[in-house]
Amino acid sequence: MKKIWVIGIVVVSISGFTMCNKADVFPDAGYDERLSAGLATVFDETSKAFSHAVEGLSDRDMEVHELGDAAFEQTFVSAPAPVNSGLGPVFNNVSCISCHHNDGKGTPTAGFSTSSMLFRISIPGADEYGGPLAAIGYGGQLQDQAVFGKQPEVHVDINYNDKEINYPDGSSVVLRDPVYTITQSYLLLPAGHMLSPRMAPPVFGTGLLELIPESTILSFADENDKDGDGISGKPNYVYNAYTKETELGRFGLKANNPNLLVQVAGAYNQDMGITSYVFPQESSYGQAQSDAYKDDPELADSILNEVAFYVKTLAVPARRNVTDVTIKEGEQLFNQINCTGCHKQTMQTGVDVTIRQLSNQRIHPYTDLLLHDMGDGLADNRPDFLADGKEWRTTPLWGIGLFQKTNGIPYFLHDGRARTLEEAILWHGGEAEKSKNAFMQLTKTERDKIIKFLNSL
């Protein structure tokens, strides 16, 4: 009888240990390549591809998303007014949607209702938080429009010089090299002032980028290039005006904002001149254009929170034609010339107990959210916290193939100088110089394959 018990215990133990074996890693080939953002992916290839809420939001969350959507499109007017009051006195545009067309990119013009360009300004030195030092009489951004009775700070003319690039195979491309001219300044611009042109970026998928663990982003950093691949990657640490803490920068073209709330509140304040509980002081404070109204904060807390929630819960469009042989070959070439040194394909979001569609998702944003030296050609020569005058944050590439549908001419790079993906690649320099040169050494057929791959994202 004792022998039978012993045999039984051995059998049960073996079975138990077998059942407790650690599961194998799920193979990459088992994932659906179309799902750029896991559960937050939407299947739409139309001009409205960037404007969908992530599917499956609760009724309450969907209501907040729709309230934020409506507020995103609201046009503000000068104070005092019964609704949407507080525009200006100086500003760049009158609504969020005026710059972020169809929740995507803008257009590289200034001074019009459809313009999406702004110019940051500062003087040498740093403020008490390590950020750019405001220019006396202008603050941190040039506002080129004003409400009735007030004078815009400046007028900006944007022109381009042609710059021909020749491939080793004899073909060529003409790039646009921008020239910015500031005129009609209401006050003499301070000596040594530095300008940084920036075009409004797309806003979809930002809720997922906000959830990427800081440890993941820092794992990509190689500031001293210890691996010798010529690519460093540096995190930007910036001041959070709401928490009053220094935090990792994720948003903005130089990773100069820590989270979506501050990014959205900053846009209201600097782009439209509207105060909020995050930025309660007018952008024109202390200037001749400043008004005497005691109406700050001008933006209701609920509206700011709703708009931040709206952009947080915008879905990412799915990839197209992922089984196409040419696109797969283009992807291999993209990896081969090490574009993925900065444009990281895959990562996992952290846990968010409030929105399961954003939580713990396998996503393909093609960015590392780090700063990289992009060379003299793209330099603005203006520091922004830890970013120097040549460094820009790696642009996420998801959805990039749909910009032509959502925004017409798909202007690329921080100032929209590139009209095609090919032009954008040829502007890469600095840490990306090696990859750009490798791209130029490819045959035209191979270069076209990379472009086709990018257009599938």
Percent of the chain scoring above 70 in pLDDT: 94
pLDDT tens per residue across span 243-279: 999 999 999 999 999 999 999 999 999 999 999 999 9
- Read off the DSSP letter of residue 384: B
Query: Is residue 377 within 8 Å of 78, Cβ to Cβ?
Result: no
Domain ranges (residues) in the chain: 38-455
Give the residue among 303, 250, 268 at the shortest CA–CA distance from 83.
303
pLDDT tens per residue across span 342-366: 999 999 999 999 999 999 999 999 9
String of DSSP letters for 244-255: TEEEE--BSTTS
pLDDT tens per residue across span 234-253: 999 999 999 999 999 999 99
- Residues 65-89: what's their mean pLDDT? 96
pLDDT tens per residue across span 161-196: 999 999 999 999 999 999 999 999 999 999 999 999
pLDDT greater than 80 at residue 373: yes
Q: How far apart are CA 363 and CA 249, in angstroms?
A: 20
Query: Which pLDDT does position 19 carry in this prediction?
Result: 53
- Residues 143-172: what's their mean pLDDT? 97
Mean pLDDT of the chain: 94
- Read off the DSSP letter of residue 175: E
Burial 198-232 (b: 16+ CB within 10 A, else e): bbbbbbbbbbbbbbbeeeebeebebeeeeeeeebb
pLDDT greater than 60 at residue 39: yes
pLDDT greater than 50 at residue 129: yes
Q: How far apart are CA 91 and CA 345, in angstroms?
A: 37
Residues in a beta bridge with 156: 182
Give the residue among 107, 121, 114 at the shortest CA–CA distance from 154.
121
Query: Is residue 449 within 8 Å of 326, Cβ to Cβ?
Result: yes
pLDDT tens per residue across span 397-430: 999 999 999 988 889 999 999 999 999 999 999 9
Count CB neighbours of 288 within 10 A.
13
Percent of the chain scoring above 90 in pLDDT: 90
- Read off the DSSP letter of residue 296: -
pLDDT greater than 90 at residue 20: no
pLDDT tens per residue across span 102-112: 999 889 999 88
pLDDT greater than 90 at residue 27: no
| 3-state secondary structure at position 42 | strand
- Give me the torsion for CA of 137, 380, 405, 316, rounded to 10°: -90
Q: How far apart are CA 149 and CA 144, in angstroms?
A: 14
pLDDT greater than 60 at residue 2: no
- Residues 41-68: what's their mean pLDDT? 97
Query: Which pLDDT does position 172 carry in this prediction?
Result: 97
- Residues 95-118: what's their mean pLDDT? 92
Count CB neighbours of 408 within 10 A.
13
